[in-house]
Chains A and B, each alone.
Chain A
């Protein structure tokens, strides 16, 4: 089968257009009906505010019921705001089908490519399909072109697979929402942007996808746009990402300046160190700028603050965008540009340190969170830190391997948490949960598999990828980074089993009424959970290291796309020791979590005496961790507040006095010009002829005099 690559992003785009058009039309009709009803109910309303008032009210009506999610009954479509069944079916089918077909198109390309690539020892050349010339200026030309090489193939595989599963999951999860069509339209648009990002053959085109996923992220975080916290979270994500994109754009310009091209042929030039010596920027600066972009998108210190807040969006969004796919785009960017990064070893060291620092910072914050999605969000930030740590020590392939396995177990965890939240009627506080295991068996089993996987218990997926990252850090002599990573592995196991313990075991902590309502989710939700859990179980076997008798197929497959870094051989005996150490650390974390949060005396206010003791013993540290290391406050004090003061000064001092002065002066000038023009534009044809003659005379005199 021969499917052109452009169809892969085009299919979700078509889904977006279809879903968007239908949803817009239906929404307009609903608003008209609501406004009609309002008018009927308020016959004495003044004519003047008829239009605006009616509209505002319609919007308010539509969302009042969805705001009070508690009265949704058993949650199987009895909510008042839910769409008619036929419309829901349409949106769901279009959404899932467009994404599913994209997955089919992707795999039709992937399977032969991967087979061929694995069959030849050196890999095969990338498939590049040019669509058209986008722009050309001077010596620079940018094509719209699609590229399939090992790196994009690997991204393509899990993005389409996980994307389709999450679309399917959303069919069930979002069924009570009024904005069902809007949701699927945005989700399809996201898939389009993400696939453009992955398949791009040049940095500018990658940037289109990069901004596209950012836009969709913003739209979906603010999906519940009638809630202030969702709107604020969306804005925070958008603004924080702008900081990163600022670096990203400058980085792209830097690449063009260094290599004279923006398409990925610059990687070959970088491999041969063919850098334009006369360029005003250095490789080091370019790497840092690109990394700034990656930090924004992939939530690294200090730009990670938006990701936990992004949990304000619906849970499938958190799973797809803020765990499995979009947030890994930064890692993808660094891996894609690995040939450039190896030219600037100092930049790589910085990447490694930022990654490790973020990993441990976010993991500690995760220890003290009580919102089930917040725990997972900080866990995501922490895992992304691992990936950057891997890239920073030169193990790009291993970092991408962790991207791959993480997509499965983290998406599974998020979808599982969504299932829990739905069972608990939109309760997200773990202190009100407990003892859910027998009631939602499928969710429990799949989530436990993913929890074990992320904790690094062999032979699940997380073990192989995380252990190789730690191994690479150790082998390249970054002992401090290794110790930080190892400690973070313990923290990870701790907070994940704390989550499991508080949610699934012990007595139920909520009200009796809530307990009666707990129910398992429909099949459209449990099936994706099982598929992802299967991935979490087995994905690791794609990259079994040599020490365990494997051939590390995954990393070997990626090699042609990545920079070659000198290998550091470590004796197998050392590797066994490292593996044993990390498993032991994980087990300690699990044991501790089990002990502290498993006591019978635990209540919703005080989870356990031991946990309480932990906070008391750590003195000032406990509250600080619980308050997320005061990073938000720090940013407020160091960045936002000075900027606000500067802004106030510019407003009061500069704008009001200086700029307004200029504006008023120029307005006066314009008025004067206007008077002058009006003097000639009298409407009197004689004056026009006079003006004409004067013009001719002036020009003629000019020519004669010079």
Chain B
């Protein structure tokens, strides 16, 4: 049998290959591990993620100069994809740290849980480097299918099952829309390779076939990043899923979805930016309003963070819009690197905030209200201070990562000619202060009742500490990260 591609193409996907093998191994191993000893599986999973992370530079070095296309243009390894791969691996590893006790002390087996997380990570790694609509779609489904199961992993909890069902039904629905959009694009462009699509779009006049195809694709993407009007699933799923999984959902899939969103729309649909930019602008405006206004009245912290993450998705859309508007006078495209910085900041602060919710859980399930934070500053000043850092960052107050990210995003929107959206974003940031500082107020100004329901979890505490350090570092010393992000742009 002849192999249709050069064997060196395998080197390009070396991290993904190794991670898949290890995930399968963990799945098998889990069948013989007794409940109560599953922590080993978690640590092995983290080691697998670390191995994949180490293999990324190895793959980049061995497979030839970047960007390196493989498998006939199905996948491309470039600095853009590496940026997202590292973030995805980090988010997955932190999720596993959050899950150690959470799953360990629950009555559910942990082995499949970790394996599913790793499979989901594999899907996201492929998404980061997908340059062909089919490979992108398959990677997306690998990620999503693992996540449907994870959402309902605590299968005797009604809310968890409900969340999983909703996620699955709506996810399937959005996949259908996305696939239909892709098929229309294929009909118009005659190819599914993003480079060919771009060349074809540049050469053909506008057509409603293509327009509808692009809109349907965009709808599918907007669903994945939980943007209005396709966001309705997000609060329910975040509230219902196990907290570490909510943390994972609000970060991992969004990062990967932004990667493919940016790649499909800039590389593939770039010549038609004039068509899709207004759609994205409308969605961004709606998303910022819905996310931030929706969060105002929530009592449940997970639900509030869910709405807040919708709002953040709206901010990040500004970066896509700015990218669509081209480059500035110095030939510098400011939209995409602003997104990259923002997503890194978003990862740190969102995971950190969710980490504190994990720490705070009492029964470990969906009882976490804002009142649970009452008097935290007296009971555990360090935890309260960490939460305050995350809240400040989420609200975009300097000197935190959130401020830097928002600053670059909003100024990109200004430069790209969307001042009204930038103004709306600033106004909505002001609105967001209200609900973020309800938590701050509870921690510092309200007396707590009774004992703090506190779980001793050094692993979570360490992960939170890393997030605090990262949030502050990115906020105080943004320049190295800016330089890094600028080196990781799409061609």
Is B169's beta carbon under 8 Å from chain A? Answer: yes
Task: Tell me the bound Cα distance from A133 to B476 in angstroms.
Answer: 11
Given A51-B447, A685-B166, A696-B177; A135-B479 close (CB under 8 Å): yes
Residues in B whose Cβ lies below 8 Å from that of A135? 478-479
Residues in B whose Cβ lies below 8 Å from that of A698? 229
Residues in B whose Cβ lies below 8 Å from that of A681? 232, 235-236, 294
**Closest beta carbon of chain A to B179's beta carbon, Å:** 13
Q: Are B477 and A699 in contact (CB under 8 A)?
A: no
Q: Are A694 and B229 in contact (CB under 8 A)?
A: yes
Given A689-B173, A692-B232; A703-B479 close (CB under 8 Å): no
Task: Tell me the bound Cα distance from A681 to B295 in angstroms.
Answer: 13
Q: Are B229 and A703 in contact (CB under 8 A)?
A: no
Given A133-B479, A677-B294; A700-B212 close (CB under 8 Å): yes
Question: Does more than half of chain B's interface fall in helix, strand or loop, or is it mixed?
Answer: helix
CB 8 Å contact bits of B217-230 with A (1 = contact, 0 = none): 01100010000111
Is A584's beta carbon under 8 Å from chain B? Answer: no
Is A673's beta carbon under 8 Å from chain B? Answer: yes
Is B10's beta carbon under 8 Å from chain A? Answer: no
Is A116's beta carbon under 8 Å from chain B? Answer: no
Is B31's beta carbon under 8 Å from chain A? Answer: no
Q: Are A696 and B294 in contact (CB under 8 A)?
A: no
Q: Are B229 and A704 in contact (CB under 8 A)?
A: no
Is A69's beta carbon under 8 Å from chain B? Answer: no
Q: Are A670 and B296 in contact (CB under 8 A)?
A: yes
Task: Tell me the bound Cα distance from A694 to B177 in angstroms.
Answer: 12
Return the contact of A677 from the options B293, B478, B479 (Cβ within 8 A): B293
CB 8 Å contact bits of A270-292 with B (1 = contact, 0 = none): 00000000000000000000000
Pick the most buried of B166, B177, B229, B235: most chain A CB atoms within 10 A of its CB: B229
Q: Are A699 and B215 in contact (CB under 8 A)?
A: yes
Task: Tell me the bound Cα distance from A134 to B478 in angstroms.
Answer: 8
**Closest beta carbon of chain A to B313's beta carbon, Å:** 14
Q: Are B223 and A692 in contact (CB under 8 A)?
A: yes
**Closest beta carbon of chain B to A520's beta carbon, Å:** 43
Residues in A whose Cβ lies below 8 Å from that of B479? 133-136
Q: Are B170 and A688 in contact (CB under 8 A)?
A: yes
> Which residue of chain A has its CB nearest to the CB of B219?
A696
Residues in B whose Cβ lies below 8 Å from that of A43? none
> Which residue of chain B has its CB nearest to the CB of A686?
B169
Given A136-B479, A688-B166, A702-B279; A695-B219 close (CB under 8 Å): yes
Given A52-B447, A132-B477, A681-B232; A674-B294 close (CB under 8 Å): yes
Return the contact of A674 from the options B214, B216, B228, B293 (Cβ within 8 A): B293
Is B165's beta carbon under 8 Å from chain A? Answer: yes
**Closest beta carbon of chain B to A176's beta carbon, Å:** 28
Q: Are B293 and A673 in contact (CB under 8 A)?
A: yes
**Closest beta carbon of chain A to B160's beta carbon, Å:** 14
Residues in A whose Cβ lies below 8 Å from that of B278? 702, 706
CB 8 Å contact bits of A126-162 with B (1 = contact, 0 = none): 0000001111100000000000000000000000000
Return the contact of B229 from the options A132, A134, A692, A706 (Cβ within 8 A): A692
Q: Are A688 and B232 in contact (CB under 8 A)?
A: yes
Task: Tell me the bound Cα distance from A51 to B473 in angstroms.
Answer: 36
> Which residue of chain A has its CB nearest to the CB of B222?
A695
Return the contact of B214 from the options A134, A688, A703, A706 (Cβ within 8 A): A703
Task: Tell me the bound Cα distance from A698 to B282 in angstroms.
Answer: 11
**Closest beta carbon of chain B to A528's beta carbon, Å:** 36
CB 8 Å contact bits of B230-273 with A (1 = contact, 0 = none): 10110110000000000000000000000000000000000000
Is A659's beta carbon under 8 Å from chain B? Answer: no
Residues in A whose Cβ lies below 8 Å from that of B170? 685, 688-689, 692
Within 8 A of A (CB), among B172-228: 173-174, 177, 208, 211-212, 214-216, 218-219, 223, 228
Task: Tell me the bound Cα distance from A90 to B127 in angstroms.
Answer: 57
**Closest beta carbon of chain A to B347's beta carbon, Å:** 22
Is A483's beta carbon under 8 Å from chain B? Answer: no
Q: Are A704 and B211 in contact (CB under 8 A)?
A: yes
**Closest beta carbon of chain A to B150's beta carbon, Å:** 19
Is B275's beta carbon under 8 Å from chain A? Answer: yes
> Which residue of chain A has its CB nearest to the CB of B166?
A685
Is B1's beta carbon under 8 Å from chain A? Answer: no
Return the contact of A691 from the options B216, B229, B478 (Cβ within 8 A): B229
Residues in B whose Cβ lies below 8 Å from that of A685? 165-166, 169-170
Is A683's beta carbon under 8 Å from chain B? Answer: yes
Residues in A whose Cβ lies below 8 Å from that of B293? 670, 673-674, 677
**Closest beta carbon of chain A to B212's beta carbon, Å:** 5
CB 8 Å contact bits of B441-480 with A (1 = contact, 0 = none): 0000001100000000000000000000000000001110
Task: Tell me the bound Cα distance from A486 to B378 in angstroms.
Answer: 59
> Which residue of chain A has its CB nearest to the CB of B227?
A695
Pick the most buried of A691, A694, A695: most chain B CB atoms within 10 A of its CB: A695
Q: Are B166 and A695 in contact (CB under 8 A)?
A: no
Q: Are B212 and A704 in contact (CB under 8 A)?
A: yes
Is B289's beta carbon under 8 Å from chain A? Answer: yes
Q: Are A696 and B478 in contact (CB under 8 A)?
A: no
**Closest beta carbon of chain B to A512's beta carbon, Å:** 50
Task: Tell me the bound Cα distance from A691 to B230 in angstroms.
Answer: 7
**Closest beta carbon of chain A to B240's beta carbon, Å:** 10
Residues in A whose Cβ lies below 8 Å from that of B219? 692, 695-696, 699
> Which residue of chain A has its CB nearest to the CB of B404?
A135
Interface residues of A (CB under 8 A from B): 51-52, 132-136, 670, 673-674, 677, 680-681, 683, 685, 687-689, 691-692, 694-696, 698-700, 702-704, 706
Nearest first, the 6 closest Cβ-Cβ pairs linking A and B are A695-B229, A703-B211, A688-B232, A699-B215, A696-B219, A700-B215
